[in-house]
Amino acid sequence: MTSWVGARSTATSSHIDAVVRAIRNTPIIDNHAHPLLKLEAQGKHPLMSITTEATGDAIDSAITSLPHLRAVRQLASVLECGLTWESVVAAIEEKRIDTPEDWVADCLAGIETILVDDGLDDPEDAQEYSWHDDYTRSKCKRIVRIEKVAADLIKKIGKAVGTATQTDVLDDAFDEWIQEFDAQIKAAIEDPEVVAFKSVVCYRTGLDLQKDVDEDAAREAFGEIMSNFCLLDFKRLQERSLNGLVVHRTAMLVRDSSSRQKKPIQFHTGLGDNDITLSTSSPSHLQEFIRAYPTVPIVLLHAGYPFTQETGYLASVYENVYADIGEVFPAVSHDGQERILRQILELCPWSKILWSTDGHWFSETYLLAIMQMREVFETVLCDYVRKGHIGWRAAVELVRDVLFKNANKLYHLGLEFAELEVESDVELGPFPSDVELLEVFLKNQEAPDFVRICWNDFTASSRMRMVPFRKFMSLLSEGKSTDIGITKAVFGLIQNDTLIPGISATGEYRLHPDFSSLKKGPIEGHISMYAEFREKSGESVALCPRSLLQRAVEAGGENGLTFLLGFEIEFLLLERLDRAAGAATRYGTLMTDGHAWSVSRYYADPKVSKLLRDMVSELETMGIYVEQLHAESATGQFELILPPLPPVDAVDTLLHTRDVMSALATAAGFKITLHPKPFSHACGTAAHTHMSISSPNGSKPEVYESFYAGILKHLRGITAFTYSNPTSFERLADGVWAGGRWVTWGTQNRETALRKIEDSHWELKAMDGLANPYFAMGAVLLAGVNGVVAKEELVWGDCEIDPAKLTGNDRKELNVTQMLPGSVEEALTALRADEELVGLLGPELVERYTALKEFELNFLGEMTEEERRAWIMERY
């Protein structure tokens, strides 16, 4: 049976990095915004309006809204002021006085062009649309608000007509109004500075437009306005028949224009101040109108919020309809914005989605909209990529389409796409780019000589490629890939580079470095990164060990689980012997005055003491903080304990730490080995692993017991990865604190394969240093996550003594009935027989791994015991 956990696709950190880079570096065509206020007019309008549509007394309550509180935090961060609204206001006032142009430029950074609806009230207080050109890469364009055109003409004609009541005079005035309105709309259609029209009929009489123009009703309503013009103090067009006529008239003129490039009509929908009637603000009311003008592009503004799904539906089923998702940034909370983006993407093709700030009056509205959009886009789109809902390349395309290309095409702007130049010293966000990570890493340190790009193969051999730093930086500066071509034979080699049957040196993977794993060392002048293997298409490679662990982490995340891993590095310190001087072997045990577990006397040896001290201090310079260091039982044996980290980071750190320790030991004239049983008479060497579920529910027994039940259920098959070499089973024994030979667990019991320490913190003892830790922990975590998904019961009882000493009745009661495999052959057989585990790991990976291990067994089997011992010591 194959579990769904193993079937999910995976995204590497570099895939996520590419999506984030697109979100941050794609220039924005702001397809709907309004002019900023002139500096002297800014005091006339409440700054509080930057996050709310409330007006009058209602605006005061906005200070307790989530959008307002979020805006305060974000503005305070940018302005470097206190986390109060009063501090933010004071800081903004200071910007307006000291550096007003610079502040506007900061707020509008990242915008390619703004399509400006300049039909807001109080036009004398607002800047001209072209004024904004100084703050955008390309010149701004106009959106003509059709109700303002109509209202201005009524004012003009009304002043001429006065209070006339004669029917013929009013009819002539109506005809004049229509003619002049048509003339202005036609002129706008021909005007290259005008790219669209805008209707606020939603505010005036609602979106439930009449299907046809009722000209008689319109004439009558117009006549009423003219007859009472002097008394009415006319300002707005707010009569149903007249508003409907204006909208229909505009649509007909656009439809009938000779140009093949029809200019869109934008409709305010949903979210607005209390002028709207909420029940008639849903874009669904426009369905008949949309059908009536199939060649007229229609843009539904503001995601139609709270009618977002209706907006997405209309854009998905009508070719001429587009969904704008502006204004909800920053007028809606973070969670609400995520939900809006997810809802619009539920059904709507992203080729029909546009984005805008709906910035107005204050430059801070632009700043907040852009900041919040990028934050929410990163959260939602990166989540989709991780879950395999969308490929990373498609996600990059989506970002570029929504923020730039769709608007460029719809409004016939003819702009060239070119990524923004992002400041290199920008503070790292949740998904920093490769360049940002490298810049932060290299800050305040000398440039290295080489960059190591590392991996761990099927035999747990640490391998790498080195690139001169100068070459590496030139690739980055030129925007070229830092991936390295590696033969596909990489996963068919044993330790001496012999290919297993059926594998040839044909085909090529791309070795892609993960910049988040950057570490100094392991020797002076080097920096190191761990890498994942990809196909040339960018897809992940099923055989890649690091990708397996990434997939296990993602499977946990999809089920609300996050993990911490902490490794114990047991190692044996050996003397290097001079074979030319007659030594029979290359390595010998240290001279000792009585080495034993946790004794202090051994640290009196100045050479050993200095080496151990150097290990800890050198690791600390790399940001690796050792938790403990002590002597183990065998002569020259020690244990160094690493801190708990997220799984991939933990394994990267483990491998890097081993390289650092080995390099320092070699420089000091010693040899470090991870050989599981270097001397038959002495204690073996393990690689115990501490695990805990770090997500909020991890401490609940119903969660962690199912997790560890899943591991125990598959432990025999998992052993093929944790005990991966014949020498591993030389260490496997009862009664020697090695985890024993039985499939079971026990609280603080070091004779069980799984030791429970506290709540979800358990220790896996059935693992040694010859295991590929990506494979081992990937298998462990996938089995555990699957246990949680399947709600596996912990049918094994808490074993309080050495399982080897249990009576038959005890075993039955505790369900201790299975033994761990006794050899690599038996472990591989157990792995193949575990169909569920094979499904989790992937059949291709299991098939290749077992084939390689069987070939390795035959190779090692031709050696004598001493030859094999020396061969393993040299390599591990």
Residue ranges covered by each domain of the chain: 13-410, 434-541, 550-875
Q: CB within 8 A of 97, min separation 6: which ones? A: none
pLDDT digits (tens, 9 = 90+) for 87-131: 888 888 888 888 889 999 999 999 999 999 988 767 788 889 999
Q: Counting beta carbons within 10 angstroms of the beta carbon of residue 347, is it exposed (0 to 12), middle (13 to 18) or buried (19 or more)?
A: middle
Contact at 8 Å (CB) between 324 and 303? yes
Question: Does 550-875 match 13-410 at the fold level?
Answer: no
Cα 269 to Cα 255: distance, rounded to the nearest angstrom: 22
The label of the residue with tokens 């089920």 reads 559
* Buried-state track 523-560, b at ≥16 Cβ within 10 A, e below 16: beebbbbbbbbbeeebebbbbbbbbbbbbbbbbbbbee
Output the pLDDT for position 432: 59
User: Is the pTM value of this prediction over 0.85?
Assistant: no
Q: How far apart are CA 555 and CA 5, in angstroms?
A: 6
Looking at residue 9, its pLDDT comes to 38
Which long-range contacts does 482-488 make (Cβ < 8 Å, 24+ apart)?
482/434, 482/453, 482/512, 482/513, 483/510, 483/511, 483/512, 483/513, 483/534, 484/453, 484/510, 484/511, 485/509, 485/510, 485/511, 486/510, 486/511, 486/533
Q: What is the pLDDT of residue 229?
A: 67
Architecture of the domain defined by 434-541? Roll (3.10)
Amino acid symbol at 2? T
**Helix-, strand-, coil-residue percentages of the chain, each rounded to 5:** 50, 15, 35
Q: Please state the φ and ψ torsions of residue 784, each to the nearest 5 degrees.
A: -65, -45
CB proximity list for 731: less than 8 A, separation 6 or greater: 676, 677, 684, 685, 686, 738, 768
Whole-Å CA distances, 553 to 69, 386, 707:
33, 10, 13
Residues 792 and 799: their CA atoms lie apart, in Å, by 19
CA distance 703 to 354: 43
Q: Mutual orientation of helices 824-833 and 715-722 as an angle, nearest 10°? A: 130
Q: Is 533 helix (H, G, I), strand (E, B) or coil?
A: strand
Closest by Cα among 202, 383, 381 to 282: 202
Q: How far apart are CA 775 and CA 777, in angstroms?
A: 6
Write the DSSP assignment of 585-622 as a string of letters. Answer: SSEEEPP-S---TT-SGGGGSHHHHHHHHHHHHHHHHT
Task: List Cα–Cα distances, 266 to 196, 239, 763, in angstroms.
Answer: 7, 20, 61
- For residue 543, give both structure tokens: 């055989």
Please return the burial class of 471, using the count of CB atoms within 10 Å of its CB with bins 0-12, 13-18 and 19+.
exposed
Handedness of CA 406, 407, 412, 413 (dihedral sign): negative
Q: Kind of pairing, strands 587-589 and 628-631?
A: unpaired
* Non-local CB neighbours of 295 within 8 Å, separated by 6+ positions: 255, 262, 320
Written as six digits, the tokens of 717 are 């098959």
Helix (H) or strand (E) holding 778: helix 773-789
- Alpha-carbon distance 642 to 452, whole Å? 22
pLDDT, position 853: 93
Question: Could you say which residues of the chain have pLDDT below 50?
Answer: 1-11, 424-430
How many angstroms separate the CA atoms of 47 and 49, rounded?
A: 5
CATH of domain 550-875: 3.30.590.10
Burial 188-203 (b: 16+ CB within 10 A, else e): bbeeeebbbbbbbbbb
Topology annotation, domain 13-410: TIM Barrel (3.20.20)
User: Cα(30)–Cα(27) distance, rounded to whole angstroms?
Assistant: 9
